[in-house]
């Protein structure tokens, strides 16, 4: 049983690690602004499907790692992630039966909320950045969600088929 | 969907605990934010988490460094030869310049000795590689592969072969974070090489521009003047080139002139840099941190 669980968990952990790596991977200057929020997208997907395992505790710890990796205020990404994952877990039964279009709209709202919290904390701390740095990831994140959910869906099916 | 059904049956207690946990974690995050913004008490925590991120950085950096390794090992013989020739010429030129420099240095120390001044210390230098740069366009920082294990300290100066690049703001065990002189949060004490006029250069968020906001309209400053570090902040040793003046706008209605400068080191193209151990400045390096 425990071995079963481990083999089912491993692919998901790899997804999370990959999303962290995509967050710190170097890209050209012009593309920085449009880097999708890989970590929140990944966490939304898995917390929505497996809310008992991947809940806000995970979101908090991973948020702190993102904070350290990006050198932002300690707790900034953690707070934003905890809030959106809280919403995703709270309404996971509704969200996961949504048709793709509606689900993408929900993800858009969640990512926008995530960026708004980052923006808000930056504003309180006196860090200014142009609006495109907040909107860019929302747009690209929403556009990439359908593709990402298909990929994660495949990972989920192959993982459950193996165990 | 067995999992879903079992969840539904436990939904009420689960969601209540969820709300409680949410408020706890959110409160904790806000507490961390406030503590981190006020003071730097969380350095050890950051260091511990940074150690977990380090392997990720290495993996992310692997394709780039592999590509560099491949292109380095597969360069053709003629390329290598021409590079070798170029380097040889460069070496001759620098040697020629250095001969003069040695004489000048001897003369300088003689003069300083006559004036009873302390001798200028030659700084210890070490090369570090850049592992990643910030993903935020308005936060010009980078991560280097040397940490407190190598003796790196907060406030340490980073230069390259052209000029000053920035300073270390956060040291981990194996890697550290530095901010560039073009970061909007960075201020650098400088002086004009021509006449010793002292001022401060602020970052603007653009890689090729610094701002000198505190120069009066009648200051003796011209386009193409060289700016060097003054060494007054304690973090940077004096005399390293920083930037050249690109424009001076004197508006009689304003108390200060609008002066901009261009950093000599191309800040967006660095791959390797040098860390300087400033023996004089090590004691008061804490003060040099801005914010």
Looking at residue B5, its pLDDT comes to 45
Domains for chain B: give ranges and CATH numbers: 124-278 (2.40.10.340)
A57 touches B at CB < 8 Å: yes
- With CA atoms as reference, the chain B residue closest to A49 would be B4
Token reading at B28 = 């904790």
pLDDT tens figures, B115-150:
765 555 567 788 888 887 776 667 788 888 888 888
Q: Which residues of chain A have pLDDT under 70?
A: 1-6, 162-163
CB-based contact B60 A25, cutoff 8 Å: yes
DSSP letter assigned to residue A89:
H
Name residues whose C-beta falls within 8 Å of residue A141's C-beta, 6 or more positions apart in sequence.
A36, A37, A40, A41, A107, A108, A111
- State residue A50's pLDDT score: 86
Chain B interface includes A97 (CB < 8 A) = no
Cβ distance of B29 and A20 shorter than 8 Å: no
- Closest residue in chain B to residue A48, using alpha carbons only: B4
Kindly report the nearest CA distance between residue B69 and chain A, in angstroms.
18
pLDDT at residue B36, as a whole number: 82
- Tell me how far apart the alpha carbons of residues B97 and B87 are, in angstroms, rounded to a whole number: 15
Which range marks the domain in which residue A88 is found? 2-162
A146: closest CA of chain B, how far (Å) = 22
pLDDT at residue A38, as a whole number: 92
What are the residues whose beta carbons fall under 8 Å from the beta carbon of A120, sequence distance 6 or more? none
**Of B196, B116, B210, B109, whose CA–CA distance to B163 is shortest?**
B210
Nearest chain B residue to A14, by CA: B56
What is the value of pTM for the model shown?
0.65
How far apart are alpha carbons A131 and A118 in whole angstroms? 12
Q: Give residues 132 to 151 of A whose Cβ lies within 8 Å of B.
A: 133
**Residue among B29, B64, B177 whose CB faces A26 most closely:** B64
Alpha carbon of A66: minimum distance to chain B alpha carbons (Å): 9
Q: B206 to chain A: nearest residue by CA?
A: A29
Q: Is B12 exposed, middle or buried (0-12, 13-18, 19+ CB in 10 A)?
A: exposed
- Residues of chain B neighbouring A120 (CB-CB closer than 8 A): none
pLDDT for B283: 41
**Residue A141: its pLDDT value, please?**
92
Residue A75 contacts B where some CB pair is shorter than 8 Å: yes
- CB-based contact B159:B165 (threshold 8 Å): yes
A69 touches chain B (CB under 8 A): yes
**Three-class DSSP labels, chain B:** CHHHHHHHHCHHHHHHHHHHHHHHHHHHHHHHHHHHHHCCCCHHHHHHHHHHHHHHHHHHHHHHHHHHHHHHHCCCHHHHHHHHHHHHHHHHHHHHHHHHHHHHHHHHHHHHHHCCCCCCCCCEEEEEEEEEECCCCCCCEEEECCCHHHCCCCCCEEECCCCEEEEEEEECCCCEEEEECCCCCCEEEEEECCCCCEEEEEECCCCCCEEECCCECCCCCCCCCEEEECCCCCCCCCCCEEEEEEEEECCCCCCECEEEEEECCCCCCCCEEEEEECCCCCCCHHHHCCC
User: What is the token pair recorded at B164?
Assistant: 């000053």
**What pLDDT, on the 0 to 100 scale, is given for residue B13?**
45
Q: Which residues of A are less than 8 Å from B134 in CB distance?
A: 70-71
Closest approach of B144 to chain A, Cα-based (Å): 13
User: Which 33-52 residues of chain A touch chain B by CB within 8 A?
Assistant: 33, 35, 50-52
Q: What's the CA gap between B291 and B289, in Å, rounded?
A: 7
pLDDT at residue number A3:
57
- Suggest the residue from B136, B170, B176, B206 to mutate for an interface test with chain A (most A CBs closer than 10 A): B136
Comparing C-alpha atoms, which of A149, A134, A137 is closest to residue A101? A149
What is chain B's pLDDT, residue by residue, as a tens digit (291 residues)? 444 444 444 444 455 688 888 889 999 998 888 888 777 677 777 777 878 888 888 888 888 788 888 887 887 788 889 989 999 999 998 888 888 888 888 888 778 777 765 555 567 788 888 887 776 667 788 888 888 888 888 888 888 888 889 999 888 888 888 999 988 888 899 998 888 889 999 988 888 889 998 888 888 888 888 999 888 877 788 888 899 999 998 888 888 888 999 998 888 777 888 888 876 444 444 434 443
CA-nearest residue to B60 within chain A is: A25
Q: What ipTM is given for this predicted complex?
A: 0.80
Q: Which of B25, B166, B267, B271 to mutate to test the interface with A (most CBs of A within 10 A)?
A: B25
pLDDT score, position A60: 92
Using a CB-CB distance cutoff of 8 angstroms, which residues of chain A are in contact with residue B33? 73-76, 79, 121, 125
Instruction: Report how many Cβ contacts below 8 Å link chain A to chain B.
Output: 118
In chain A, the largest separation of any two C-alpha atoms, in whole Å, equals 51
Chain B partners within 8 Å of A90 (Cβ): 15, 18
Task: List CB contacts (< 8 A) between A68 and chain B.
Answer: 46, 49-50, 53
Q: Which of B15, B23, B29, B204 is the mutation pick for testing A, counting most A CBs within 10 A?
A: B29
Query: Which chain A residue has the Cα nearest residue B37?
Result: A73
User: What is the domain count for chain A?
Assistant: 1
Instruction: Give the tens place of pLDDT for each residue, A21-50.
Output: 888 887 777 787 888 999 999 999 999 888
Cβ contacts of A75 on chain B, cutoff 8 Å:
28-33, 36
Q: Which of B137, B135, B136, B129 is nearest to B158 (CA)?
A: B129
């Amino acid at each position: 049983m425990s071995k079963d669980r481990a083999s089912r968990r491993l692919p998901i952990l790899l997804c999370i690690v990959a999303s962290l790596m995509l967050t710190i991977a170097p890209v050209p200057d012009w593309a920085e602004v449009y880097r999708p929020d890989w970590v929140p997208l990944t966490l939304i997907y898995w917390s929505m499907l497996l809310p008992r395992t991947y809940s806000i505790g995970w979101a908090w710890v991973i948020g702190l790692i993102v904070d350290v990796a990006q050198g932002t205020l300690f707790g900034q990404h953690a707070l934003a992630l905890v809030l959106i994952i809280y919403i995703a877990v709270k309404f996971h039964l509704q969200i996961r039966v949504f048709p793709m279009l509606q689900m993408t709209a929900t993800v858009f709202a969640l990512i926008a909320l995530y960026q708004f919290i980052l923006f808000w904390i930056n504003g309180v701390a006196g860090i200014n950045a142009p609006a495109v740095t907040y909107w860019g990831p929302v747009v690209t994140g929403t556009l990439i969600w359908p593709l990402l959910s298909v990929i994660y869906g495949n990972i989920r099916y192959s993982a459950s088929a193996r165990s | 969907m067995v999992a879903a059904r079992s969840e539904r049956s436990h939904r009420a207690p689960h969601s209540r605990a969820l709300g409680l946990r949410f408020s706890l974690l959110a409160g904790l995050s806000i507490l961390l934010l406030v503590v981190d913004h006020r003071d730097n008490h969380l350095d050890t925590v950051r260091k511990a988490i940074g150690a977990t991120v380090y392997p990720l950085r290495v993996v992310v950096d692997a394709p780039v460094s592999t590509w560099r390794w491949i292109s380095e090992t597969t360069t053709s013989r003629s390329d290598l030869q021409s590079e070798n020739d170029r380097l040889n010429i460069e070496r001759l030129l620098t040697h020629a310049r250095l001969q003069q420099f040695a004489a000048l240095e001897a003369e300088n120390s003689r003069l300083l000795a006559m004036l009873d001044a302390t001798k200028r210390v030659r700084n210890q230098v070490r090369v570090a590689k850049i592992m990643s740069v910030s993903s935020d366009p308005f936060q010009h920082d980078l991560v280097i592969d040397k940490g407190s294990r190598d003796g790196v300290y907060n406030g340490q100066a980073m230069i390259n072969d052209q000029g000053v690049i920035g300073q270390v703001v956060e040291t981990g065990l194996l890697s550290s974070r530095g901010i560039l002189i073009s970061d909007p949060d960075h201020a650098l004490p400088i002086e004009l090489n021509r006449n010793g006029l002292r001022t401060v250069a602020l970052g603007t968020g653009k890689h090729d521009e610094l701002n000198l906001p505190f120069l009066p309209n009648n200051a003796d400053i011209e386009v193409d003047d060289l700016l060097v570090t003054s060494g007054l902040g304690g973090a940077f040793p004096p005399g390293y080139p920083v930037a050249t003046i690109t424009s001076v706008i004197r508006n009689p209605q304003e108390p200060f002139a609008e002066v901009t400068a261009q950093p000599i080191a191309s800040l967006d193209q660095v791959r390797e840099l040098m860390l300087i151990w400033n023996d004089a400045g090590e004691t008061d390096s804490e003060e040099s941190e801005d914010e």
